[in-house]
Amino acid sequence: MFNKIKSIIYKKTDFGKTRYLNYLYQYDLKQFYKNSVMGADNNKVLPTKIRLIAHAIEKGLSLPCPKPGFGKKKIQELIALNEEYKGCTEQIDMQVEELVKATVRTYAEFQKKNNIDVSYIPQKYFEEHSSIQVGVGEFEIKDQNNFSEIAYARHSSRNFSERKISTEVILDVVKLAQTAPSACNRQATRVYACINDSKIDQIMKMHGGLNGFNKPAVIFVIAGELNLYQNEFERNTVFVDGGIFIMNLLYALNSFGILSCPIIWGSEPDMDGRLETILNIPHSHKIVALVVAGYPNGKKYKAALSPKRKVEDIVIFK
Ligand SMILES: Cc1cc2nc3c(=O)[nH]c(=O)nc-3n(C[C@H](O)[C@H](O)[C@H](O)COP(=O)(O)O)c2cc1C
């Protein structure tokens, strides 16, 4: 009798159903906190801190109008962290030093061209050439014939023209992105395509990560319909489905000659609430990320080079 009641409580009540989900979220929380920059030993996460600053500098250089003199504090911090990392006995990220050198050198070249003093940067950062290229590249919109060309031709761009994108083109692009696989073909991803001028302004204002970008023609909010997920084992599937869809969307946009950049979404209650209000998104749609998009000015466009890690450094054969 007691076991029957217990089974009813665990299987049928909110208390029972949320207990295991709660345990799994606690498991996620501990794993993330212990190993991410939030809680791990500094020497383990130094390369992450360095990569984040190097990226911020490179992104600053790739914006439509980089401000002469920007980033001095960041460069000083980058150099200090790099020196600290060199002193660590165990170095797991062998690309970091090259990345720092290339970033510092490219940054200094930009500042010197604008007559900004960079004498605070130690001379040794200019002595050896780095094998990595960072900074800004000029790319061309071209037809691509195979997947290798398609993949290597995509770059996140933050430079858009004022040309609008028609709703017909947006539907064609999203239809192409719908070729993405999804868990049990449930196709939970929903695409809010914001083309309204004043709403785009409101979103750009509330999202710090869009500072310095040209105004995009469209802001896509990629969300997942939570009603389509069954249980605790699918608690992260909305992000997997959404992430795969976003990658397809970026390629689809590129194939229509449209530039794009994925934009982080932190899933904080206040920010979710504000975006839900601006675009009238129901709370059952979990916001995964944003994608900003727009046509380039002509056939050529500017984007950060964003070097990739060596393939040997990310593949772990077993
Ligand atoms: C999940 C995710 C979040 C991102 N968020 C931002 C962002 O908030 N602001 C930004 O400028 N770029 C953002 N990006 C773009 C990355 O900076 C870019 O993908 C990276 O530097 C690699 O460059 P690539 O896309 O040209 O290969 C994001 C990318 C991803 C995948």
The rounded Å distance from CA 31 to ligand 1 centre is 24
Q: Where are the domains of the chain?
A: 2-35, 42-127, 147-294
Taking CA atoms only, the protein residue closest to ligand 1 atom 20 is 306
Strand order in the sheet with 259-263: 189-194, 218-225, 285-294, 259-263
The reply to whether ligand 1 has any atom less than 6 angstroms from the CB of 289 is yes
pLDDT in tens, 37-51: 999 998 899 999 999
The closest alpha carbon to 57, from 95, 93, 96, 106, belongs to 106
Which pLDDT score, from 0 to 100, does residue 16 have?
A: 83
Structure tokens at 55: 């990226």
Give the position, in ligand 1's atom list, of the atom nearest the Cα of 58: 21
Residue 156 has pLDDT above 80, yes or no: yes
pTM: 0.94
Give the position, in ligand 1's atom list, of the atom nearest the Cα of 158: 11
Residue type present at position 114: N
Q: Return d(Cα 271, Cα 221) in angstroms, integer.
A: 13
| Cβ atoms of residues 105 and 125 within 8 Å | yes
Which pLDDT score, from 0 to 100, does residue 214 have?
A: 95
The reply to whether ligand 1 has any atom less than 6 angstroms from the CB of 288 is no
Give the position, in ligand 1's atom list, of the atom nearest the Cα of 303: 26
CATH homologous superfamily of 147-294:
NADH Oxidase (3.40.109.10)
| Mutation test residue for ligand 1: of 156, 246, 265, the one with most atoms within 8 Å of CB | 156
Q: Return d(Cα 106, Cα 185) in angstroms, integer.
A: 46
pLDDT mean over 25-42 = 96
The rounded Å distance from CA 288 to ligand 1 centre is 14
The closest alpha carbon to 143, from 30, 28, 26, 256, belongs to 256
Whole-number mean pLDDT of the chain? Answer: 94
The reply to whether ligand 1 has any atom less than 6 angstroms from the CB of 212 is no
The rounded Å distance from CA 18 to ligand 1 centre is 34
Alpha helices in the chain (DSSP H): 2-12, 14-35, 42-62, 72-86, 96-113, 124-127, 147-153, 167-177, 197-206, 237-255, 269-279, 311-314
Question: Hunting for tokens 């212990």 — which residue is that?
Answer: 34
| Mutation test residue for ligand 1: of 57, 263, 290, the one with most atoms within 8 Å of CB | 263
Residue 11 has pLDDT above 80, yes or no: no
Q: Phi, psi at residue 236, to the nearest 5°?
A: -105, 0
The rounded Å distance from CA 309 to ligand 1 centre is 15
Give the position, in ligand 1's atom list, of the atom nearest the Cα of 213: 11
Confidence of residue 275 (pLDDT cuts 50, 70, 90): very high
The closest alpha carbon to 287, from 264, 259, 317, belongs to 264
Confidence of residue 277 (pLDDT cuts 50, 70, 90): very high
Residue ranges of E strands in the chain: 136-140, 189-194, 218-225, 259-263, 285-294, 300-304
Give strand pairing partners of 269.
Answer: none
Give strand pairing partners of 156.
Answer: 260
